[in-house]
Amino acid sequence: MNAFSLAMSGNKLEVQEREELLQTTQRLLTEVQGLSSRIAAVNEIANAINRSLHLDEILQLVGKRAKWLLDFKHCSVCLQNEDGSCHLLTLFGPPIPHDTCPILDANPISRALKTGQSQLNPNDYSSTIFAAYPFQIIIPLQIENRIIGSINFAKSSLPIYTQDDLRIGYLLAVQLSSAIRNAKCFEETNKLLEEMNRLYSELELERRKTDKLLLNILPQKIANELKETGKVKPVHYESASVLFTDFQGFTQLSEQLSPEELVDELDYCFSYFDLVSEVYNLEKLKTIGDSYMAVAGIPIANATHAIDAVLAALQMQSFLTWRKVEKAQNKQPYWDIRIGIHSGSLLAGVIGRKKFTYDVWGDTVNTASRMESSGVAGGINISQVTFELIKDFFDCEYRGKIAAKNKGYIDMYLVHRLKESLSSDPLGLVPNHQFQQLYSAL
């Protein structure tokens, strides 16, 4: 072979090598472009699933869009339960007739979950719950080095899955694991918030119960001060009216009633007195046996306290009169009431550390008690001081100077009713418009 022939032969070899190199380069470029487009698709899916914090929605997105990445007839996830078992969720394709993943058996799924190693076209594919699909990719899902399940792809026709398919599936598994972690954190946060809201609601309910109980013991103004400062500063009132009631004949009648009947009757009377006190702005302080004590003009001072106390007393007197008539019709004995009222200065405050009591102190309190004990059955007995404050509104009868224990002789008056010109009813219990005008001017 001459030199020309050798040269021609060498040129042909070079051309052939260049063509093969070019084809190889084009094939690699095509593969790179295909891989790049699949990676871009993974990023798009990642953006979509990371915009959601709900696991069901995330898995639905994966089931719909994973087709951009891999060819499969079946796509599912196997997720671990809190007890260590796993449940299967089919994302694409015909449902698998299993709702649990067999992790105790020797099969590709259990290997992936136990070792953290992905399974590519396992030879023992028929031992899995995806036995109908010879070609499988099983990729563990991990959160902070803890395996929480797997994502599974399967098909029954060629081409078989490749390492590139496995890499793309792995990238998707990483993004899915991150999204599941976020969803679980969101779910746990929601549960925590729900628990906090529940506890807050229970706390608020208990607070309301406590406030209600506190308001049964203390006036609202005093209760608020106690809650805000932990203590209540005693307050001096220049003028307030103290009302005492007592049931005459209580001791004798109590011997004829059972303890339950006696308590029921006292509760019936005192509950009505509570209602009357609330209507006329009296502050009920206490009951001692058959005695009832309330004060007008505290904790908020006012100029109408004596009138308020007498109006309340008339209602209490009327109630007991009606109750006594009702009992008499049934041939049952009943008690009379004595009511005493005195007006003057006093000191009011809270005593006690555990069992709070709102109380008043001063000579006014003692004198009011003497007004009750020096009164007459069925009557409202008031002092000279109270009389001067209410005489323009009520018909009163001067009793004279009456001896009071430890007080000497005190001028006392019986209140009969509202003045006729100021009353809208025959009994003189209900104020009329003219009364309201005079009352408002005080």
296-322 per-position pLDDT tens digit = 999 999 999 999 999 999 999 999 999
Per-residue pLDDT, averaged over 5-13, amounts to: 52
Evaluate whether residue 353 is within a structural domain.
Answer: yes
Domain span holding position 63: 29-188
Evaluate whether residue 368 is within a structural domain.
Answer: yes
Q: What is the DSSP string of 221-243?
A: HHHHHHHHHSS---EEEEEEEEE
Domain harbouring 100, CATH code: 3.30.450.40
Last residue of a domain, one of 188, 212, 245: 188
Taking each helix axis as running N to C, give the angle between helix 3-50 and helix 55-65, from 0 to 180 degrees, rounded to the nearest 10.
150
Evaluate whether residue 12 is within a structural domain.
Answer: no
User: Measured between alpha carbons, how far is residue 390 from residues 324, 385, 387, 403 in Å?
Assistant: 28, 9, 5, 23
112-155 per-position pLDDT tens digit = 998 999 999 999 988 888 889 999 999 999 988 899 999 999 99
Same domain, 123 and 237: no
Same domain, 179 and 233: no
Evaluate whether residue 81 is within a structural domain.
Answer: yes
Same domain, 170 and 231: no
Please determine, for residue 39, whether its predicted confidence score (pLDDT) is greater than 90.
no
Evaluate whether residue 216 is within a structural domain.
Answer: no
Kindly report whether the peptide bond that precedes residue 259 is cis, defined as omega within 30 degrees of 0. no
Evaluate whether residue 207 is within a structural domain.
Answer: no
242-259 per-position pLDDT tens digit = 999 999 888 888 888 888
Please determine, for residue 4, whether its predicted confidence score (pLDDT) is greater than 50.
no
Where residue 22 falls among pLDDT bands split at 50, 70, 90?
A: low
Please determine, for residue 66, whether its predicted confidence score (pLDDT) is greater than 90.
no
Tokens at residue 197, please?
């809201």
Same domain, 114 and 246: no
Please determine, for residue 174, whether its predicted confidence score (pLDDT) is greater than 80.
yes
Domain harbouring 261, CATH code: 3.30.70.1230
Same domain, 349 and 425: yes
Same domain, 350 and 286: yes
Same domain, 177 and 249: no
Per-residue pLDDT, averaged over 211-219, amounts to: 71
Number of domains in the chain: 2
Same domain, 419 and 319: yes
Judged by DSSP in three states, 142 sits in strand
Name the residue type at position 375.
G
